[in-house]
Structure 1
């Protein structure tokens, strides 16, 4: 492995960006190989002699890392010798191919992956991942202990692409894409919750591959809750959303909907309000929304009464919406030429 090379400054707390921009051409290939290895673990990385451009963004979601990679073609192999020499915790990677093509080989499977499909691979077993054209990927890097699946269960789902045309892929693809894109701005409790939903869906996938009936299983219930939360998030701006409309959209009774949320120790209405407040708080923190009134932001996220919004916002966050905006829109500027040492492995 090449010697450590300088890395750019963190973009924000918990977020690091690796980029070839500004790296001399003679050092770019070594820089990129090192950045990839530090992000995903020790691999035998083949990259072109001339790496024109590459960017990796890593955001922490507790013990999980949300990673975006945009780069020129490359091939990565993790061999048995590399696995044996690694003293890091085992990691499982859930990767969405957003642009370009790929081929993944693991557990006797050799699969072509197309844009819009996601796949899983296990860093504890040999793997070959080829990306023969410029690509964009979004990934979650999960410690095996977070995933909660044994080696045999993981082996059932590796290198098996899922697209949005499948039932689980239709949930996982947009979920993972949104989670990775918003990870750096995602409040920690929300990020952990969404990550847990992704893990639950992977558990159901492993159950299905094992041939288990998930209809009444705990994992099946978790999938239903994931669908319901995704529906709520997609309709936060609708002031008429209610337990009745949510139950009707999922072909369940309102009583059963309330029962599902009892296990979360929160009511359906309180969950909706909390998610709306979180989105309003995020919008109020953005300088790009400085010209939007507080009432406009409240309306955008489903609050029909500005006075009610101000009251509940103050009750939850201890400050008025205007006060929160004043405290959080003066973003800290960081000099463009600042550099930091290469951090420890991102995952």
Structure 2
């Protein structure tokens, strides 16, 4: 299981609940001025998942006003971007001249370096928070700050891809090892960077090297979204992005693997997660293989053995049943 801390307001005396949660949220995100009409008997729950440099925190809480002032920023700024996937509830945020309303299945983007007022409404709010250090996103600060407060739907495109990953991850952390945390954090960082690049559309105001980097991030997100497609190849990826295959390979020249090797590795990682998931132990190996873009069972078995040193069947049995 991933490293996880849990807070439930009912575990704290009513008079202490709000202040305790304010302190916890300040450690998770950044110091804020929080106010609530329900402060006398505040109800909230929160889990904090440690994914290396990245933090994910699903939470449910009563209506709040979050305020981050210039004074608080000067006092402490972890220099992170915060994304909230709104599952239930609504509200609005104000950043200088920009004001944005949000509703369920919107992604709300914020920055610890900018002053804001965010107000939640309804009986309660359920969300999944995501903290990513600004230094991990390969975009100029002035360009990336343009996404703060921008309305983003989690129902389609890269926003939906990020939302699906977050909801699947937080629904059940049992299948993951603590050592998986930093790797999952890297995946989330790539998805956030791809989302930012999508929002910005990498326009003419960005330098050529930034344009190339954001295009690469968009392609990475495209690959993850279409892993089950057995026809996903460098040629189809290049065509979908209106570039040549040779230019696609040049974009990935500084990456750790080629485009084809990246596709194969991500497919194998996804298949491995399914094979070691107790909830899927009745699903045939060939079905899982086909689900992740391996229509030929022999090709899948050969690639899996090469990557992990065991056949898919043997690896599944060992993961689910040990050495019995």
TM-score class normalised by the smaller sequence: 0.7 to 0.9
Partner Cα separation in structure 2 for residue 259 and residue 156 of structure 1? 28
Distance verdict in 2 for CA 1:84–1:179, change over 3 Å: same
Match of 2:162 among 176, 196, 209: 176
TM-score under structure 2 length normalisation: 0.79
User: Residue 112 and residue 173 in structure 1: after superposition, are their counterparts in 2 closer, same or farther (change >3 A)?
Assistant: same
Aligned partner of 1:122 in structure 2 is 111
Q: Does residue 255 in structure 1 map to residue 246 in structure 2?
A: yes
The answer for the alignment partner of 1:213 in structure 2 is 205
**Does the 8 A contact of 2:276 with 2:316 survive in 1?**
yes
Quote how far apart the aligned CAs of 1:145 are: 2.9
Q: Distance in 1 between matches of 2:131 and 2:184?
A: 17
State how far apart, in whole Å, the 1-side matches of 2:198 and 2:290 are.
37
Which structure 1 segments of 5+ residues have no match? 1-11, 332-347
The match for 2:272 among 281, 285, 297 is 281
Distance in 2, matches of 1:275 and 1:242, equals 13
User: Any residues of structure 2 matched to 1:128-167 within 5 Å, and which?
Assistant: 128-133=117-122, 134-147=124-137, 156-163=146-153
Task: Note the residue ranges of structure 2 that are not aligned, 5 or more in a row.
Answer: none
Q: Deviations over 1:159-183 (max 9, x none)?
A: 3333469xxxx65422432343345
Kindly indicate whether residue 31 of structure 2 is the aligned counterpart of residue 42 of structure 1: yes
- The DSSP-based 3-state class of the residue aligned with 2:315 is helix
Structure 1 length-normalised TM: 0.75
Cα deviation code 1:103-131 (max 9, x no counterpart):
21223433323333334323234322110
Alignment match, 2:63: 73
Q: 1:290: Cα distance to partner?
A: 1.4
Q: Any residues of structure 2 matched to 1:1-347 within 5 Å, and which? A: 12-20=1-9, 23=12, 25=14, 27-47=16-36, 48-49=38-39, 53-86=43-76, 89-133=78-122, 134-147=124-137, 156-163=146-153, 171-183=157-169, 185=176, 188-189=182-183, 191-199=185-193, 201-202=195-196, 212-214=204-206, 217-329=208-320
Post-superposition offset of 1:197: 4.5
Higher relative contact order (CA 8 A, sep 6+): 1
SS state at 1:132 partner: strand
SS of 2:131 mapped into structure 1: strand
Shift of residue 234, structure 1, vs aligned partner: 2.9
> Shift in Å at residue 233 of structure 1?
2.5
d(CA) in 2 for partners of 1:281 and 1:15? Answer: 23
Q: What is the distance in 2 between the residues matched to 1:237 and 1:151?
A: 34
Measured in 1, the distance between the counterparts of 2:114 and 2:225 equals 37
* 1:278 CA displacement: 0.4
Taking structure 1 as reference, are residues 222 and 67 closer, same or farther at Cα in structure 2, changes over 3 Å only?
farther
User: How many residue pairs were aligned?
Assistant: 312
DSSP-derived class of the 2:250 partner: helix
* Change over 3 Å in CA distance of 1:187–1:125 after alignment to 2: closer
Native 8 Å contact 1:204 1:219 kept in 2: no
Please, what is the CA RMSD of the aligned residues? 3.3
Cα distance in structure 1, aligned partners of 2:24 and 2:315: 37
